[in-house]
Amino acid sequence: MKVIVGLGNPGARYAGTRHNVGFAVIDWLAEAPQTSRPLRRFNAEIRERLEEGTKVLLVKPQSFMNLSGRSVREVLDFYQVLTEELLVICDDFNLPLGKLRIRSKGSEGGHNGLRDIINHLGTMGFPRLRIGVGPPEKGEAIDHVLGRFQPSEKPCIEDAIDRAGQAASLWVHRGIQECMNQYNG
C-alpha cells in the first residue's frame, strides 16, 4: 500500500490558494475512474484507488496545514504503512513558480505542515514532492501563500499540478529514485 498526502487548508476560503496545491494534486489523482468516493476518517478526506495491483490512499488532512501531522500519523498507524511508503505533496515559495522538487527525505525547510508531520512521525525519512509557488515580496510570506494565483500564473501552476500528479503515479509504480530522476531538474 502507498499513501499520498496532499497538504492544504480546508474550506472554500482557501480553495485555489498557493498553499493548497497539495490538495489540487490529490484532486487531479482522484479524477481516475477507479478512485473511490471520499470517506471522512482520521480528520481527513480519504479516497482509495487500485493502480496495477497496488492500493493507493489519497489523503487530504482536514485540519489546518500546520496541524496535519496527527492525521498523517493516524492514517499510517491504522493501515500499518511504513514512512517510506508515504509521499507528502506541498507548496514551496522558495522554488520558482511551477518547479517540482522531489526528495526521499529531508528537513521541513521552513514549511510548517512538513514540520508538524515530522514531529508526529518522529522522522524526516519520508518522500516529499514540493511544488514551487514563486517567492513572496519581502515580509509577505503568509499573505503570499494564502493568496490566489494571478491569471498569468495559472497556466504554469496547472501544468505543475499535472506533472506532480504524473510524478506521484510514477512514484507508486517505480519508486522515489525513478521519480527524482525524471522530474527533478
Q: Which residue shows C-alpha cell 496495477?
A: 52
C-alpha cell belonging to residue 24: 489540487
Of the residues 19, 120, 144, 173, which is catalytic? 19
- Write the CB contacts of 48 (distance below 8 Å, at least 6 apart in sequence): 35, 36, 55, 56, 57, 58
Q: At what angle do helices 154-174 and 21-30 cross, to 10 degrees?
A: 60
| Distance between first and last Cα of the chain | 28
C-alpha cell belonging to residue 142: 503568509
Q: HSE of 111 in the Cβ direction (CA atoms, 13 Å)? A: 32
CA 61 from centre of chain:
10
Clarify whether 173 is annotated catalytic.
Answer: no
- Write the CB contacts of 179 (distance below 8 Å, at least 6 apart in sequence): 102, 127, 129, 167, 170, 171
CA distance 48 to 46: 7
Task: Please give the positions annotated as active site.
Answer: 19
